Structure 1
């Protein structure tokens, strides 16, 4: 195993990727941060605190969790992962945004219909241990390096396609909210003068907020959960049924589905995410998250796409730092913020997420179908976009697996022979 220092280009034979030197100090952080990057971090939080939180609430409702347990879950996925995001992004000077596995949350929601909450907590802990061991072995980085990037990005495009479709549907179903956001986004994007001072996505956010206020569509519910979130500790119970049902699928959703997307998005944006360190961090943080009743940690794909949507590559880490700090605040005040976020119309969130994801979707299509492995990429995209669910494993895994199989069978000429002196960089095919 070798790692490359971003600043010096030096190669070192180590399992754990080393952070760049010199370390990121307060003076450099203050110089690199800006309105554009702070806006991308805020958009990442808005995305994470709306639809994904709704998935947690739905999963908890399926399992009969009370308000305190749900608040503790949300506290864990925001506060703990916010701390990890800030620490890793500053250490590696890359936008490394950590969140939680949404497919895994859906899986847990299904399991809670017949498993107890302590049994699920036990599965969370076992999953964290398995992910940590796999990261320490170095196998994850080797596996990711062996997968052709066009197929990975086609899978990512299949996942991100939903955001584009939801954007179009929002404009058609709720033009009073969505249309002003799209118009402002296009105007600010087309004008160099306007876009220099206000990022287009921030303009869309403000326009949407004004539209919601003018139409009187902001409808918060009665707040009965308080203001501050308090962690709830649940003693784990380890049963063969829960371990067999959840551990392997949860690990797959973290390592293949979520981290695969995150690494692919960051690599396409010109970064070199530390795959092994990221995997180990996801495992260790999953152990901590399990203690407060939160699902496993992952390097999220959609949020990192938002964090790298614009700006200079070497300054994009500040967007992740802003996202992480906002996530910590959101987690501490989870009951209050969840009530506010869920009070906005669905079209507001769909339009904001769709506009923010357009560049990432464009880049995914360009990488997937711009060179080799196009048949495997096409199959990966179609299968992922079709959104099948088999063996309690989501579409992204099956899209990636089917694309690789098809490419191995039909596109042998696109797989270049590798020699010990001609290896692809970590995280690249």
Structure 2
């Protein structure tokens, strides 16, 4: 009976003919940029957390395999079946939470908490509770939190221009030229032009350290046996479930709705639970619907064709998972400024849309509080700032913007 709360697809899955008709370079490049995001900074977080926690190279490689291959597969299947961009990844705040836990818990105990989190997330999705909860959240306040999370991409763009103008300057110049001249932009999308300009600049300057790239090798997942610890359950399960269901999925759902999609909220949560259970088996942190990647997948093009980018993202993620050692070295060999500029340029319109959705109407004060608390990036009780930003925004709106709640209930 629980399955009755899961939302099914509204249309048949696209066949080969529809896929060929919808294919386009702009959508594939959005998928590529989303993949580059996932394969750089977030991977470094995994490596840093795991290394400090005493994990072996084999366990680290297995973790990277799990978060990419499993979530890439979920992204492909869900995006194809629902014909909308549904990019799944792993909870980065959850990864950060695991760091302190590994200092006093065994990895087996942490794995046990991963399994328990997967069960909780799966049951929340199948019960229908997640969709009901999401429906009560005012969208401007949620988008204020999203704007706070995405703001760092815009700031990174400015910082990259300051720290490495030789790479960042040509990228921004080409982006602005292609954006200012529509005839050129239609032939070469601005973000693609920026990517090519950055690649050319790195080649001329010799900025890619190919000596750090290892040899070709396939990932060898390490199957993990969990240990059940009350301490691990108390410390990790509730915060991890919150980061997946509220913080991460909340961002992803808000981004997709802002782009005109109607994501299946309960089904997404259930799929995150399944992905979390599969990931736990190879020692990887819980799955989620990613906000930044889905923002990139929906940043340009026709809404009905956005899913093509998600399919490309899924294929790249699965490939990365299978050859994690080599691809990790390659992505991390590029200068950080290249990734910062590429992401910042791709997110400009998305960030603009988040601000407009936050401050263009009702709940504007709550949205502002949600934005400020999120930007402050101060976590409490092992729970990240995005959750507290959402909570603070709701509390302030409930106290000072009750008329907006009344209007929303009527409308």
TM-score, normalisation: structure 2:
0.97
Q: What secondary structure does 1:393 align onto?
A: coil
CA-CA distance at 1:379 after TM superposition: 0.3
Structure-2 separation of matches of 1:47 and 1:308: 15
CA distance in 1, matches of 2:351, 2:103: 35
Distance 2:211 2:87 in 1: 30
Tell me what 1:102 maps to.
92
Cα offset, 1:66, TM superposition: 1.3
2:378 corresponds in structure 1 to 388
Q: Which residue of 1 aligns with 2:339?
A: 349
Greater helix share, 1 or 2?
2
CA distance in 2 between counterparts of 1:221 and 1:56 reads 22
Q: State the alpha-carbon separation in 1 of the partners of residues 144 and 408 from structure 2.
A: 23
How far does residue 22 in structure 1 lie from its aligned partner after superposition?
2.8
Give how far 1:117 is off. Answer: 0.7
Give 1:20 shift.
Answer: 2.2
Question: 1:242: which partner in 2?
Answer: 232
**1:3 counterpart residue number:** none
Aligned to 2:89, what secondary structure does the other structure show? strand
User: Are the counterparts in 2 of residues 20 and 91 from structure 1 also a CA contact under 8 Å?
Assistant: no
* Secondary structure in structure 1 of the residue aligned to 2:55: coil
| 8 Å contact kept, 1:100–1:297 | yes
Paired residues of 1:82 and 1:327 also in contact (CA < 8 A) = yes
Q: Structure 1, residues 215-259: CA drift from partner, whole Å, max 9, x if none? A: 111114445575211111111001011111000000000011100
Q: Which residue of 1 aligns with 2:315?
A: 325
Aligned length: 409
Q: CA deviation at 1:21?
A: 2.4
Q: Residue 170 of structure 2 is aligned with which of 151, 166, 180?
A: 180
> Is 2:12–2:81's contact at 8 Å kept on the other side of the alignment?
no
Structure 1 window deviating more from structure 2 (335-344 vs 187-196): it is 187-196
Give the structure 1 partner of residue 187 of structure 2.
Answer: 197
Aligned equivalents of 1:376, 1:274: Cα separation in 2: 26
Match of 1:264 in 2: 254
TM-score, reference length from structure 1: 0.93
Give 3-state SS (helix, strand or coil) of 1:316's partner: helix
Cα pair 1:62 1:110 within 8 Å, conserved? no
CA offsets 1:347-369 (integer angstroms, 9 cap, x no match): 11111111111111000000000
Whole-angstrom CA distance in 2 between matches of 1:108 and 1:299: 19
Unaligned runs of 5+ in 2: none
After superposition, what is the alpha-carbon deviation per residue over 1:104-153, rounded to whole angstroms, capped at 9, x for unaligned? 00111121111111111100000000000111111110110000000000
Partner of 2:7: 17
Residue of structure 1 in register with 2:277 after alignment = 287
Deviations 1:80-106 (A, max 9, x none): 101100110011111000000000001
RMSD: 1.4
Matched residue SS, 1:384? helix
Alignment partner of 1:57 out of 44, 47, 52: 47
Is residue 404 from structure 1 mapped to residue 394 from structure 2 by the alignment? yes
Cα deviation code 1:373-395 (max 9, x no counterpart): 01100000000001011101101
- Counterpart-to-counterpart distance in 2, 1:87 and 1:275: 16
Alpha-carbon distance in 1 for matches of 2:337, 2:190 = 18
Separation in structure 2 between the aligned mates of residue 374 and residue 200 of structure 1, nearest angstrom: 32
Partner of 1:297: 287
**Structure 1 gap segments, 5+ residues each:** 1-12, 425-429
